[in-house]
Chains A and B, each alone.
Chain A
Amino acid sequence: MPLVLTGEAEPPEASRVRAHVSACPGCRDESERLSRLLGCLDGAAIPDPGPVYWESFLPRLRNRIAMRGLAGGTRPRRQGWAVAAGVSVLLLGAASAVNLQPSAEGRQRMALDYLALRADPKTLSRALDEVLPGSEPSPPDSLSGALAVPRPAEFQRALDTLLPQDDSDLYSAAKDLSPEARRWLLMALMPDRV
């Protein structure tokens, strides 16, 4: 009967079972109970985690791949994801530094420390060569336009989703970023969103 109710029985068998069920009260009752069970299962939708989660899914996956040293594993040329992940964490460090306003040397050290904690040496070296060829990065020009500043709660959710287990001082500092720095960070971590 479950095969018939789930549409997997062969047509002759399904016809035979249906004919019997229509004439047999016991089997009809059984069929109704089973149908109700399958209906409830089918309708038991799981909650959707929401748009912030889905928007962060791919960037987090890229970071995870880069951190395992897999980026470009099947790709013979540039290791774009590793660099992107490096850039993301670098910008996090730099964006935090915008708020804290330490010295230039201090900013660079914070960014380096943050990268060193999370990137393998090759990724770190490559990211630094690409992004920091002797100077700290500036916010992209596109951010000086009319982009909406994310609401604090929205930003907080994004940060919690992207860095759920980060308990570094840098993370604490990032929570108090200026709106401009938040916008910059969101751009770095969630480029598809802005």
Chain B
Amino acid sequence: MTSPPDRNERDLALIRRFQAGDQRAFDLLVEEHRREVYRLAYRLLGNHADADDLAQEAFLRCYRSLGRFRGESSFRTYLTRIVLNLSADLRRAGSRGRQVPMEEVPEGDLARAAPPDGAELVLEATLRRAIRRLPPRQREALVLRVFQEMKFREIAEVMGCTVGTAKANFFHALKRLRQRAGL
């Protein structure tokens, strides 16, 4: 597995190639980060159709602005910020017309993990719903910390707030989830 500094170096090398006109370098960046971007979008939006649309838009926006990327933050942070901004745009735009929860995608299309036992399954489903109902900033802090495994310093950078605010949002999110899940 590639360590984060190695990954960042590799991303930077690809970005330099892209900035020099190598289109294939952008393809490689997409291939490297598409799963993570999709998963983040899914966590934030809660359904496949919107997650797919957001992931595609995120890379499109990235393509448009990558020529100006200076490497002041990691590419992962840069991309995560784009995803959060697009997610906020979606919220502002109101509810989406096309809502296709992943549960409705045909079974054969999904590579599912081994199912946990019944009680855990119920709890996980409860938590998924509870996460979707969190206030946006709390949901972002929770998703970035738990699922993206970002440090609070990075979360603060991505969310454009202080480390203390990022932590506060995370703590409030946990508190709400515990109330919802009865834990």
Chain A residues in the interface with B (C-beta under 8 A): 2-3, 6, 8, 33-34, 36-38, 40-50, 52-54, 57-58, 60-61, 64-65, 68, 70, 72-77, 80-81, 157
- State which of A45, A47, A53, A73 has its C-beta within 8 Å of the C-beta of B67: A73
Chain A residues positioned under 8 Å from B67 (CB to CB): 73-74
Q: Could you tell me the distance between the alpha carbons of A152 and B146 in the complex, rounded to whole angstroms?
A: 40
Quick one: CB contact mask for B170-183 with A, threshold 8 Å, 1 for yes?
11001001100101
Q: Could you tell me the distance between the alpha carbons of A49 and B170 in the complex, rounded to whole angstroms?
A: 28
Residue pairs across A and B with CB atoms within 8 Å: the count is 104
Nearest to B24 among chain A residues (CB) is A80
Interface SS majority for chain B: helix
Q: Is A60 a contact of B56 with CB atoms below 8 Å? A: yes
Known: A46-B42, A53-B52, A73-B64. 13 other contacts (CB 8 A): A43-B120, A44-B127, A44-B128, A46-B43, A47-B105, A49-B105, A49-B110, A50-B109, A50-B110, A53-B109, A57-B55, A58-B31, A74-B19
Q: Is B120 a contact of A46 with CB atoms below 8 Å? A: no
Chain B residues positioned under 8 Å from A42 (CB to CB): 146
Q: Could you tell me the distance between the alpha carbons of A52 and B113 in the complex, rounded to whole angstroms?
A: 18
B182 to A: closest C-beta gap in Å: 10
Among all A-B residue pairs, the 3 with the closest Cβ atoms: A74-B67, A50-B109, A47-B110
Given A46-B42, A52-B109, A37 and B56 contact (CB-CB distance below 8 Å): no
Q: Is B30 an interface residue (CB 8 A)?
A: yes
Quick one: CB contact mask for B15-58 with A, threshold 8 Å, 1 for yes?
00011010100010011001100110011000010001001100
Q: Could you tell me the distance between the alpha carbons of A108 and B34 in the complex, rounded to whole angstroms?
A: 36
Given A3-B167, A74-B67, A61 and B59 contact (CB-CB distance below 8 Å): yes
Given A8-B152, A43-B116, A49 and B127 contact (CB-CB distance below 8 Å): no
Q: Is B120 a contact of A41 with CB atoms below 8 Å? A: no
Q: Is A81 a contact of B178 with CB atoms below 8 Å? A: no
Q: Is B112 an interface residue (CB 8 A)?
A: yes
Residue among A41, A68, A74 facing the most chain B CB atoms (10 A cut-off): A41
Can you give 6 contacting A-B residue pairs, CB < 8 Å?
A40-B127, A46-B42, A49-B52, A54-B34, A57-B34, A73-B67
Q: Is A36 a contact of B183 with CB atoms below 8 Å? A: yes
Nearest to B145 among chain A residues (CB) is A6
Q: Is A64 a contact of B21 with CB atoms below 8 Å? A: no
Q: Could you tell me the distance between the alpha carbons of A76 and B22 in the complex, rounded to whole angstroms?
A: 10
